[in-house]
C-alpha cells in the first residue's frame, strides 16, 4: 500500500549500533536478530582464548563515554572512522578472511582511543535494556523494526549522511573539508514539482551539499511542528537533531540519550496529531554505528558510481555496520519485524518508486529493495498511540559532567559553518560576525551560538526564496531592578519634602 503514503518524514540521529540500542528486544521477541546475552569480544583479538568481555544491558544515558583526566572532563568517544570499523569487524586482520570469526575487534579498538584505557574498554559492550529506551522501543513494537538496516559505508558520519541524500559519498570514506556537488534526491523531487524541506536544530549537516544552499529548503526545527499543525508539511521532510550544547539531541556519544528519545517522541506525536498521519511514513534511523558493538557482519554492496577511495583503500562494495531503524505508519501492522537488507539509499529508492521520479542517482539506489513491503494494511490503523512514554531519568543523570572538548563531528560542523558563511559573504548576504575563530571556540555552548547564527542566516535565505517573512526575533528587554527598601524610603522622603515646599 505504498501508494497510500504521500508524505515521508526521515529523522536521522547519530552514531549508535543496532545491538547497542535494540539488541535486547530479542529476549521478548525471538524473531528479532538481536542479542542472546552471551555475545563476547576478546580484550586482545590475537588471543582468542584470552580474556573476553560479555555484552550487558546496563548502558547509561550519559557517562559511559567521558572521564576525568587531570581534573578535566574529556570525551572518550568510540572509534568510528573507516580504519576503526575495519578493525572492529576483522581484527586482527585488515579485511575479510575465510574462516576467521568477525566482529571481534570492538573492545581492543576502544581501548586504544585517545583518553581511553584498559578499564574503559569493556564499556563498548554495554547495551540498553528495552525499558531504558521507551520511545524507540514502543515505536519498534507498535510498527516496523528493521533488523537488517546497515549504514552505507563502514565509516564515519560524513560519507554516510551523503549517501542518504545523494546515494554516493563521491568516492570518500573519510571526512573532507569541502562542499559537495552531487545530484540529490531533492533535485529529483523538484523536477517532479514535489516539495521537500530539511529541518534542523542548531545547524544542518546537509548544508555541505552546495546544490541545496540556494534551493530554499532549509528550516529551523520549530518550523516542522508549525508546518505539521498548519498543513504545510512537504512531500519529503528530512530532520536533523541539535548537535551542540547541553540540550543536544543527536545521541552522539557522550550526549544524553534521553534528550534524543524526547526528540523522537516530539516528532512522532506532532505527526500523529496532524492531518498528515493517515498519509505518512516516519523513518527513524541512525547514520552509522559509532564504534559501538554489533554482532552482525555487513554484507556486500554495489559501488555507486565507479569511484574508489585511495587512502584508505576501499571499493564501496561492502556495507557499513547495522544501525537501529524503525518505520512508523498507520498502514504497517503492529509488531512487524523486517529482515530485509536495507541501507540508507533504500530511502531514495523508495521515494523514487512511490512518486515515479527520474532515473536513479547512482547504481546503489538503482538496485535493492524498497520499503513497500512494510505497508500491507488496506486501511489506516486507528489504534496507534497518540502519546509515547518518555524516559525516566535519575537526578544523577540530569546534569552530565561537562563541559568536554568538542568532538570531531562538532569541529567538522564548525568548518562547515565557516564554508557556508563564506558562501553567504560572496553572495553579499550579511556575514555572521563572531568574536573568535571557530576552532578556538572550545566549549559546546559558544560553538552552538556560532553555528546557530550561520544556520539562522541560511533559513532566512530559504524564507526569502519562498517569499516568506521570517519570524521576528524577540526584542531583548532589560529586566526591571527591584526597588530596595532604602530606595523606597528615600523616594518617600523626597515626596514629603516636595509636599512641604508646596504648602509654604
At 430, the pLDDT band (50, 70, 90 cuts) reads: low
The answer to which of 156-170, 221-235, 448-462 has the lowest mean pLDDT is 448-462
Position 296 pLDDT exceeds 60:
yes
Coil, helix or strand at residue 194: coil
C-alpha cell read off for 46 = 590475537
Compute and round to an integer the Cα radius of gyration of the chain.
25
Dihedral angle sign, alpha carbons of residues 64, 65, 68, 70: positive
Nearest alpha carbon to residue 124 among 84, 71, 175, 152: 84
Is the peptide bond preceding residue 76 cis, with omega within 30 degrees of 0? no
C-alpha distances (whole Å) from 63 to each of 76, 110, 127, 403 are: 10, 15, 13, 12
Q: What is the reported pTM?
A: 0.89
pLDDT of residue 346: 98
Helices (H), 236-318: 257-272
Mean pLDDT, residues 115-119 taken together: 90
Mean pLDDT, residues 392-396 taken together: 55
Position 396 pLDDT exceeds 60:
no
pLDDT of residue 437: 46
Mean pLDDT, residues 420-426 taken together: 90
At 465, the pLDDT band (50, 70, 90 cuts) reads: confident
C-beta separation of 351 from 236 below 8 A:
yes
What backbone torsions phi and psi does residue 54 show, to the nearest 5 degrees? Answer: -95, 150
Counting Cβ atoms within 10 Å, is residue 196 exposed (0-12), middle (13-18) or buried (19+)?
buried
Position 94 pLDDT exceeds 90:
no
At 442, the pLDDT band (50, 70, 90 cuts) reads: low
Mean pLDDT, residues 350-371 taken together: 95
pLDDT of residue 406: 86
Q: Greater confidence, 486 or 154?
A: 154
Q: Greater confidence, 395 or 434?
A: 434
Could you tell me the end-to-end alpha-carbon distance of the chain, in angstroms, rounded to an integer?
Answer: 93
Mean pLDDT, residues 320-330 taken together: 98
Average pLDDT over all residues of the chain: 89
Nearest alpha carbon to residue 138 among 371, 282, 334: 334
pLDDT tens-digit profile of 214-225? Answer: 999 999 999 999
C-alpha cell read off for 145 = 523494526
At 398, the pLDDT band (50, 70, 90 cuts) reads: very low
DSSP E strands: which ranges in 70-179? 72-75, 144-146
pLDDT of residue 481: 42
Position 487 pLDDT exceeds 90:
no
pLDDT of residue 441: 63
Mean pLDDT, residues 420-444 taken together: 68
Domains of the chain: 2-391 (3.40.720.10)
Neighbours of 225 (CB within 10 A): 17
At 383, the pLDDT band (50, 70, 90 cuts) reads: very high
Nearest alpha carbon to residue 303 among 218, 362, 378: 362
pLDDT tens-digit profile of 170-179? Answer: 999 999 999 9
C-beta separation of 374 from 327 below 8 A:
yes
pLDDT of residue 402: 52
The answer to which of 308-322, 331-345, 451-465 has the lowest mean pLDDT is 451-465
Position 387 pLDDT exceeds 60:
yes
Spatial distance between the Cα atoms of 489 and 415, rounded to a whole number of angstroms: 57
Position 478 pLDDT exceeds 60:
no
Could you please report the per-residue DSSP string of 61-95?
Answer: SSSSSEEEETTEEEE-PPP-SHHHHHHHHHTTSSS
Position 291 pLDDT exceeds 60:
yes
Spatial distance between the Cα atoms of 405 and 73, rounded to a whole number of angstroms: 8
C-beta separation of 409 from 34 below 8 A:
no
Position 436 pLDDT exceeds 80:
no
CA angle 211, 224, 447 (to 5 degrees): 65
pLDDT of residue 322: 98
pLDDT of residue 498: 67
C-beta separation of 148 from 322 below 8 A:
yes
Neighbours of 275 (CB within 10 A): 12
At 184, the pLDDT band (50, 70, 90 cuts) reads: very high
Question: What is the per-residue burial (b if ≥16 Cβ within 10 Å, else e) of 253-271?
Answer: bbbbbbbbbbbbbbbbbbb
pLDDT tens-digit profile of 232-289? Answer: 999 999 999 999 988 899 999 999 999 999 999 999 999 999 999 999 999 999 999 9
Amino acid at each position: 500500500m505504498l501508494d497510500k503514503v504521500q508524505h515521508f518524514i526521515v529523522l536521522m540521529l547519530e552514531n549508535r549500533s543496532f545491538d547497542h540500542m535494540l539488541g535486547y528486544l530479542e529476549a521478548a521477541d525471538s524473531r528479532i536478530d538481536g542479542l542472546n546475552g552471551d555475545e563476547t569480544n576478546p580484550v586482545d583479538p590475537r588471543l582468542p582464548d584470552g580474556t573476553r568481555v560479555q555484552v550487558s544491558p546496563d548502558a547509561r544515558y550519559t557517562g559511559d563515554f567521558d572521564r576525568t583526566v587531570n581534573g578535566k572532563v574529556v570525551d572518550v568517544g568510540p572509534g568510528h572512522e573507516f580504519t576503526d570499523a575495519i578493525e572492529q569487524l576483522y581484527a586482527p586482520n585488515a579485511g575479510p578472511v575465510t574462516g576467521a570469526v568477525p566482529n571481534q575487534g570492538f573492545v581492543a579498538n576502544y581501548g586504544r582511543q585517545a583518553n581511553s584505557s584498559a578499564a574503559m574498554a569493556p564499556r563498548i559492550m554495554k547495551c540498553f535494556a528495552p525499558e531504558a529506551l521507551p520511545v524507540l522501543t514502543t515505536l519498534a513494537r507498535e510498527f516496523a523494526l528493521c533488523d537488517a538496516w546497515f549504514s552505507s559505508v563502514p565509516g564515519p558520519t560524513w560519507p554516510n549522511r551523503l549517501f542518504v541524500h545523494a546515494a554516493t559519498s563521491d568516492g570518500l570514506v573519510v571526512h573532507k573539508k569541502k562542499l559537495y556537488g552531487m545530484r540529490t534526491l531533492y533535485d529529483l523531487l523538484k523536477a517532479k514539482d514535489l516539495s521537500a524541506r530539511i529541518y534542523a536544530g542548531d545547524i544542518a549537516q546537509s548544508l555541505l551539499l552546495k546544490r541545496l544552499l540556494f534551493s530554499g529548503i532549509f528550516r529551523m526545527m520549530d518550523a516542522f511542528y508549525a508546518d505539521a499543525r498548519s498543513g504545510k508539511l512537504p512531500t519529503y521532510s528530512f530532520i536533523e537533531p541539535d548537535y551542540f550544547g547541553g540540550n543536544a539531541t543527536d545521541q552522539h556519544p557522550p550526549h544524553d540519550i534521553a534528550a534524543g528519545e524526547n526528540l523522537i517522541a516530539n516528532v512522532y506525536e506532532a505527526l500523529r496529531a496532524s492531518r498528515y498521519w493517515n498519509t505518512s511514513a516516519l523513518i527513524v534511523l541512525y547514520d552509522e554505528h559509532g564504534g559501538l558493538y554489533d554482532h552482525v557482519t555487513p554484507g556486500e554492496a554495489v559501488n555507486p558510481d565507479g569511484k574508489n577511495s585511495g587512502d584508505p583503500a576501499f571499493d564501496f562494495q561492502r556495507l557499513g555496520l547495522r544501525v537501529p531503524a524503525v518505520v512508523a505508519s498507520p498502514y504497517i501492522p503492529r509488531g512487524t519485524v523486517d529482515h530485509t537488507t536495507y541501507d540508507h539509499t533504500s530511502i531514495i529508492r523508495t521515494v523514487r518508486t512511490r512518486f515515479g521520479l527520474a532515473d536513479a542517482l547512482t547504481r546503489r539506489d538503482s538496485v535493492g529493495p524498497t520499503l513497500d513491503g512494510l505497508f500491507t494494511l488496506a486501511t489506516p490503523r486507528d489504534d496507534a498511540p497518540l502519546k509515547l512514554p518518555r524516559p525516566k531519568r535519575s537526578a544523577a543523570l540530569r546534569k552530565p559532567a561537562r563541559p568536554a572538548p568538542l568532538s570531531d563531528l562538532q569541529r567538522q560542523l564548525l568548518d562547515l559553518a565557516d564554508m557556508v558563511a563564506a558562501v553567504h559573504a560572496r553572495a553579499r548576504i550579511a556575514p555572521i560576525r563572531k568574536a573568535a575563530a571557530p576552532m578556538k571556540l572550545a566549549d559546546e555552548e559558544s560553538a552552538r551560538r556560532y553555528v546557530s547564527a550561520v544556520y539562522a542566516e541560511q533559513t532566512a535565505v530559504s524564507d526569502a526564496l519562498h517569499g516568506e517573512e521570517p519570524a521576528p526575533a524577540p526584542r531583548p528587554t532589560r529586566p526591571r531592578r527591584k526597588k530596595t527598601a532604602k530606595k523606597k524610603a528615600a523616594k518617600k522622603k523626597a515626596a514629603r519634602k516636595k509636599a512641604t515646599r508646596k504648602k509654604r
